[in-house]
Amino acid sequence: MSEKARRGRSNFNGLHHPVVDFWRREVGGISSRNFSNRFSASENLVLRLEIYKKLEKHKGCVNTVSFNAEGDVLISGSDDRRVVLWDWQLGNVKLSFHSGHANNVFQAKFMPFSDDRTIVTCAADGMVRRASILEGDKVETSFLGLHQGRAHKLCIEPGNPHIFYTCGEDGLVQRFDLRTEAPTELFTCRSVDPRRRNMDAIQLNAIAIDPRNSNLFAVGGMEEYARLYDIRRFQGEGLNGFTRAADHFCPPHLIGNEDVGITGLAFSEQSELLVSYNDEFIYLFTPGMGLGSNPIPSSPISKSPVSKSESSSSPKDENEHSVSLVYKGHKNCETVKGVNFFGPRSEYVVSGSDCGRIFIWRKKGGELIRVMEADRHVVNCIEPHPHIPVLASSGIESDIKVWTSKAAERATLPENIELLPSRFRIPWLSFLSFHDYDDELFGNGMDIGIDGNEGEDESIDDDAEDNDDDSDYSSGVDLDDNDSDDDMDSDDDDVDDMDSDDECFIEIDNNNMDNNGDGGSETNVDSISGSHQDDDVDDDD
């Protein structure tokens, strides 16, 4: 039998059949690496995903989940301002500590090649912080930088234990090097439309870095364009034209639409860019589909755009690649919602939804293949395991769901699923603060004021109850804790209740941080002993 025929027999509905691949691996017809990739990408496994564990410890919306490089530890951050490290396979808490943030934690990630002992975080207080895990499970946190407004996302340079980037509502993109004392302010995003360039900076919600080329990163926020930047254009102390993006991406029908914005970005292993829009759809762009450094069209918007990227391409190629794939069915109106790829070679696209479901599409073709009931309310975060077909999800609820392919039967699409997103539109001014939605969902909203005493750092006692109206931290940034990245907050009774098994909290005030966040750092040491079991969860969770 020819090799072509053998390959044909190993396919099932266009995908590799796992049973045939098992046999081929045993007889040496397929390498272990290729078998692992094919097995993990099997649609049969995607259709058998179901909840494996519910991880319960947080006392607020869980705004971020992320695996370490090995995939055995899951890290999460929440409105309760705590960071938790999980043994997700057992469902146990390995470590829980206060982040040092004065407001909701929006992002928490391990730095690579740090033995999972260096964690970077950003939050609604605008601060960017570092947490170092010391001997005896003590945690030392320190201040790294500040955004004027909420800092929604950060991205880490692949394989680099020192470099990461952040973005925030001030439109600022910063580059952090943990070997230096201060971040580098790269640029502030402003509208590319000449009529709007003198307006306020573009509020940024998402930032992502290309895994195949760490010189390239993309940002997106409250405008229609996803912008691609090349860090090699930044030289020395001067911007040297770096403020202009190397490329822009936008579906043709959204160009000039001031009501849309980007909530999530993700790069595939093939350098494709996935862009999720509020109250719209998800779009996939290949590198050749960019609109160039000047995306303002010289022809009517209704005309199909021609790539203006600096790389040369023929008119035929431009026409073939000018239309992006679109993924429909979810609802993205009420929160800052992420988007991601799933599979060893980014074979699938995954997103949460306002309806509390998880949606999975085939990347190639954009067909919706799976809808999973996840939360009672909004699902915001979907994070794939780095090596195996496992997903972690979180959102408005205070728990985390871990999904594995253990279902006995293959799932089918529900017949009553809405294939169009909700037409309910939230004005952009209130996109990040849904007080009415909070009241309707929980009965009453949580209002935590941040103490704005200038240059004064107050310590937090982890054994104390933190149900006061004022936060225990003074960040110099006046923010309302109602404005979560999830735009939802839990009841007052659940705010930052410290666990009885948390031992002590020590704050070492090195330098006071002034009201602008300059020239200061603070160190928090949280000593936590033992592994937290599921029965450590408070009754009111």
**φ, ψ for residue 486 (rounded to 5)?**
-85, -10
How far is it, in rounded angstroms, from Cα 191 to Cα 295? 11
Name the DSSP class of 488: -
Structure tokens at 67: 């695996």
Which pLDDT score is estimated for 334?
87
First and final C-alpha spacing in the chain: 60
Residue type, 452: G
Those residues whose C-beta lies under 8 Å from the C-beta of residue 54, and which sit 6 or more positions away, are 91, 399, 400, 401, 402
- β-strand partners of 92: 87
Taking CA 253 as the corner, what is the angle to CA 248 and CA 259, rounded to the nearest 5 degrees?
85
Instruction: Write the DSSP string, 198-259.
Output: TSPPPPEEEEEE-TT-TTEEEEEESSS-EEEEEGGG-BTTB-TTTTS-SEEE--GGGTT-TT
503 contacts 119 by C-beta, under 8 angstroms: no
79 contacts 60 by C-beta, under 8 angstroms: yes
How far is it, in rounded angstroms, from Cα 343 to Cα 42? 9
Average pLDDT across each block of 10 residues of the chain; the chain has 541 residues. List them in order.
49 52 62 61 90 96 97 97 97 97 97 97 98 95 97 96 97 96 92 76 96 96 96 67 85 92 96 96 95 73 40 39 84 92 95 95 95 94 95 96 95 72 36 36 35 34 39 36 43 40 36 41 42 40 39
- β-strand partners of 218: 208, 228
3-state secondary structure labels for all residues of 433-466? CCHHHHHHHHCCCCCCECCCCCCCCCCCCCCCCC
Which pLDDT score is estimated for 166?
98
3-state DSSP assignment of residue 358: strand
Which pLDDT score is estimated for 508?
34
Report domain 48-294+321-405's class. mainly beta
120 contacts 154 by C-beta, under 8 angstroms: yes
Which pLDDT score is estimated for 176?
98
Structure tokens at 488: 């939802």
How far is it, in rounded angstroms, from Cα 218 to Cα 331? 23
Which pLDDT score is estimated for 124?
97
For residue 388, CA distances in Å to 36, 38, 63, 191, 518 come to: 8, 11, 23, 41, 43
3-state DSSP assignment of residue 72: coil
Residue 398's closest CA among 442, 351, 333?
442
Q: Give the chain's length.
A: 541
Which pLDDT score is estimated for 354?
93
Residue 154's closest CA among 217, 246, 80, 242?
217
Which pLDDT score is estimated for 294?
87
For residue 156, CA distances in Å to 75, 110, 119, 122, 317 come to: 15, 9, 11, 13, 33
Burial zone of 264 (CB within 10 Å; 0-12 exposed, 13-18 middle, 19+ buried) = buried
Kindly report the pTM of this predicted structure.
0.73
Those residues whose C-beta lies under 8 Å from the C-beta of residue 231, and which sit 6 or more positions away, are 175, 186, 215, 216, 217
